[in-house]
Amino acid sequence: MSSGRATRMGPAELMQAAAMARRFYLESKSKIQIADEFGVSRFKVARVLETALERDLVRIEIRVPAELDAERSDALRARFGLRHAVVVESPTEAVDDAADPENLGEVAADLLGELVTDGDVLGLAWGRSTIHMATALRQLPPCTVVQLTGVYDAGTADRGSVEAVRRAAEVAGGEAHPIYAPMLLPDSSTAAALRHQTGIARAFEYFDKVTVAAVSIGSWEPGISTVHDMLSAQEREHYSSLGVAAEMSAHLFDAQGRRIGRDLGERCITVEAERLRRIPEVVAIAGGHRKAAAIGAVLRSGLVTSLVTDTAAADWLLAEEEPGPRPALERTDPDSTAAS
């Protein structure tokens, strides 16, 4: 109360407060409508509703599914300037060297169901988490689906990103534009020749039309980065010497989110970083303690607008020093002169 005294409410006050609270919270009536019904001012209604909360006559609970962490999600969104951040509870049996928990893909599938609208163009990049997401898709508005990268191994296309694109297009009832080519080629001339092949060129034509994209993030170590595993030991050592901390869609980043090793992109079948930056909504799906630093590096790049991760990675990211400028919504390149 305004006097600071917790005076006891009489039976009449209790009944009136309960009735007003029912009208407001359960029947969605406005304060003006309630005031008219009870013959009081709307300011009186506001005071009664406030008192009902103070006296525990009304209790408001914000509840989300147990596997989602609302507090960490909001903190992560604010810290990195993301449009959306969804933090999923890490599996109790998770171990430090595990890949992305599969439940990330399930939550990401639900998020895409919210973000994709009728007529959009959905882009999917190669990654275990995006493949899990595509498998978990149950509903999508009618949209076109395009593959944003080549595959890790052309021989496993039917079990990887090509199948993910087909699956998403089937759920959406839209066209599918897969890429039947490896992600990494021996040299830039071979990659350039493949980009001009009819099917691949058709997929590339859709890159500028993509409105929502789903990507994976890898840390620079065996089994956690597709690109790392595809390179020779000498090439890995070279890019390590440049300070690579993360990779996403065959683009390499240092710990500050600056792109490095740009020559690698010339050998890859992948969406260019500049095109990726122009996509209105880019959702990254990555989690686990081993990927936490890599996730932070990619978030600083400004290429990602939304993130689905787990509590293990979120705790690491939230314990870091303040990340400085929040680039995800600014969509500007933090360092266009990074070393190559």
Chain segment 171-199, per-residue pLDDT in tens? 999 999 999 998 999 999 999 999 999 98
What sections of the chain are H helices per DSSP?
Answer: 11-21, 31-38, 42-54, 70-80, 102-115, 128-136, 161-172, 188-195, 198-205, 226-230, 233-241, 273-278, 292-301, 311-319, 327-330
Instruction: Please provide residue 145's backbone torsions phi and psi, each rounded to the nearest 5 degrees.
Output: -120, 130
Which residue bears the tokens 């490095």? 260
pLDDT reported for residue 335: 45
Tokens representing 143 are 């949209």
Which residue bears the tokens 């859709």? 206
pLDDT reported for residue 10: 72
Mean pLDDT for the chain overall: 85
Tokens representing 113 are 């169901």
Helix 42-54, helix 31-38: angle, nearest 10: 100
Which DSSP string corresponds to 269-311?
-B--HHHHHHSSEEEEE--SGGGHHHHHHHHHHT--SEEEEEH
Evaluate whether 213 touches 122 at the Cβ level (below 8 Å).
Answer: yes
Residue 8: half-sphere exposure toward Cβ, Cα within 13 Å: 2
What's the 3-state SS for 22-58?
HHHHHCCCCHHHHHHHHCCCHHHHHHHHHHHHHCCCC
pTM over 0.85: no
Chain-centroid distance of CA 168 in Å reads: 17
| 142 SS3 class | coil
Alpha carbon distance 87, 44 (integer Å): 41
pLDDT reported for residue 16: 86
Q: What angle do CA 164, 257, 98 make, to 5 degrees?
A: 50
Alpha carbon distance 51, 58 (integer Å): 9
Q: Average the pLDDT over each of 16-20, 161-165, 298-302, 323-327 and give the range with the smallest value.
A: 323-327
pLDDT reported for residue 332: 45
Q: What angle do CA 245, 206, 274 make, to 5 degrees?
A: 35
Alpha carbon distance 150, 127 (integer Å): 11
Q: What's the rounded mean pLDDT across residues 276-301?
A: 94
Domains of the chain: 11-55 (1.10.10), 68-319 (3.40.50.1360)
Q: Average the pLDDT over each of 64-73, 132-141, 168-177, 288-297 and give the range with the smallest value.
A: 64-73
Tokens representing 131 are 């493949």
